[in-house]
A = this chain, B = another copy of it.
């Protein structure tokens, strides 16, 4: 079990950032263009979208295909590897949904205790 320490840390350093998971979610429905992603992911800056997409492309999680038209059309999509990430991510999401209220309750108790 402690064998999982290092890989978990590596994975978290990949998808634990502020935007990667949201990008995975946004791409679940199929390929999306750059500005489609920008609009879909509320609050992300152009810069961070570019950087995060690059990193995920480097890790083989997403693919980037350029259609040489004018104006340029660039589509991002989950790779097979990227799609497999959905499962553990959704496990985490399910945990979060199931325990959201308990966490909030714990926080309020803690804050009240001072």
Contacts and interface: CB of A to CB of B under 8 A. Distances in A.
Copy total for this chain: 2
A59 to B, nearest CB: 5
Interface string A1-25: 1111101111110111100011001
Contacts of A1: 25, 28, 90
Q: Is the interface of A mostly helix, strand, loop or mixed?
A: helix
A97 B60 contact: no
Nearest to A57: B110
Contact of A96 (B11, B17, B21): B11
B87 A95 contact: yes
Contacts of A107: 58-60
Contacts of A4: 25, 89-90, 93-94, 96-97
